[in-house]
Structure 1
Amino acid sequence: MPPAAAEPLTPERILETTEDVLRRFGPTKATVVDVARALGVSHGSVYRHFPSKAALREAVTDRWLAKSVVALEEITSASSGSAPSKLESWLEALFEAKRHKAGDDPELFATYIVLLDENSDVVDRHLTELIDQLARIIAEGVDAGTLAAADVPAAARAVFDATGRFHDPQYAADWLSPTIFAEFEAVTSLIIRGLRA
């Protein structure tokens, strides 16, 4: 049932509805007409906010990825806590966010895997943001003398790459393993010990 006509058509409302449409029809069958129909508007109204189907799908992908960045930024910029504990919390939060996305809404997660492949620029920006957050935590530890890294950006990239099994969607099936938490702990402990000054 379309929402009340009095509700304004905003980009955020379009994106929320697009998620619902993608969940129902999947990325190959969902169309802008389906989104417009769910909103109770013409497809031209949707195109006024997003000039193409590709732009709409890119915006949905960006919105989905940005949700985890906000929570991770809170950890990164927190004024309390040592850098090693922040690093551990950050890695745990990233893993938990990815696991929830895969487990809580598997249909939408599968859709986003397709969208991630389509929108490599959005994904590249997202990965750059995440690695930048890691670099800031490591740099804070270097400044405080609790972590050691001669090349902070390289260290951040190495930490991100070394923990890929716990956040890269291609490993989502592994996240159901009964030993995954012990494996995550072993890897993160090794990384943090290796970075300690």
Structure 2
Amino acid sequence: MNETVVLTPERILEVTEDVLRRFGLAKATVVDVARALDVSHGSVYRHFPSKASLREAVAKRWLERVSTPLGKIAESSQPAPARLERWLRALFAAKQNRVLEDPEMFATYLTLAQEACKTVKAHKECLIGQLEQILSDGVKQGTFQLADVGETARAIFDATSRFHHPSHSDDWRDPQLAARIDTLLALLLRGLEVPRKR
């Protein structure tokens, strides 16, 4: 064992993901992670005090891979309607690509996320906050007319769940999915627009 290795939480999480991929969630242990790092399991526990905290950190890292790029879209200087459409399409693609490209790891992460309820709730609130930012900018730009930005953001998140919530992942292989997304986004954007004067 190499106890002179400088361990960081990020390195432990990287290796934990590799271990999960190799052994699966049910069989992967902290000892397996330590062995892959060539350290004692006590060294891992110094950064993550329990198996549950390690698993929660892995789930958080996975969810941040979705929310971080979306945050950049939300903060961009594009007009709000274009930004909203881009943000929603990126959200749908991020979730759908994960399940279609690597269904086994998606199932693993889904189980981890279900265990980490607080982390998932924070992720959802982060995404809704990003939507609020876009909608608020749209109101300031005079392109959106909304009674309540916060409620509208939450309604959009809920109304589009078929395209981003993992419980609908079986539907994401539908050949008509892209057309359904196009229809929904066109309807959604029309509904948010400031009415045109006649």
Q: Same fold (TM over 0.5)?
A: yes
1:19 equivalent in structure 2? 17
> CA offset at residue 94 of structure 1?
0.4
* One-letter identity of the residue aligned with 1:36: A
Alpha-carbon distance between aligned partners in 2 of 1:99 and 1:166, rounded to the nearest angstrom: 8
Structure 1: state its 5+ residue gaps. Answer: none
Within-5 A mapping of 1:71-150: 71-79=69-77, 81-150=78-147
> CA offset at residue 8 of structure 1?
2.4
1:44 equivalent in structure 2? 42
TM-score (normalised: structure 2): 0.94
2:148 equivalent in structure 1? 151
Alpha-carbon distance between aligned partners in 2 of 1:189 and 1:45, rounded to the nearest angstrom: 53
CA contact (8 A) 1:33 1:43 kept: yes
Alpha-carbon distance between aligned partners in 2 of 1:43 and 1:104, rounded to the nearest angstrom: 32
* Stretches of 4+ aligned residues off by more than 4 angstroms: 4-7
Alpha-carbon distance between aligned partners in 1 of 2:184 and 2:93, rounded to the nearest angstrom: 15
2:177 equivalent in structure 1? 180
Secondary structure of the residue aligned to 1:191 is: helix
CA contact (8 A) 1:19 1:108 kept: no
How many correspondences in the alignment?
Answer: 194
Secondary structure of the residue aligned to 2:114 is: helix
* One-letter identity of the residue aligned with 2:16: T
Alpha-carbon distance between aligned partners in 2 of 1:133 and 1:145, rounded to the nearest angstrom: 19
CA contact (8 A) 1:148 1:195 kept: yes
1:124-148 Cα shifts (integer Å, max 9, x gaps) = 0000000000011001001111011
Structure 2: state its 5+ residue gaps. Answer: none
CA contact (8 A) 1:138 1:147 kept: yes
Alpha-carbon distance between aligned partners in 1 of 2:186 and 2:103, rounded to the nearest angstrom: 30
* One-letter identity of the residue aligned with 2:155: A
CA contact (8 A) 1:17 1:35 kept: yes
Secondary structure of the residue aligned to 1:27 is: coil
CA contact (8 A) 1:32 1:53 kept: yes
> CA offset at residue 54 of structure 1?
0.5
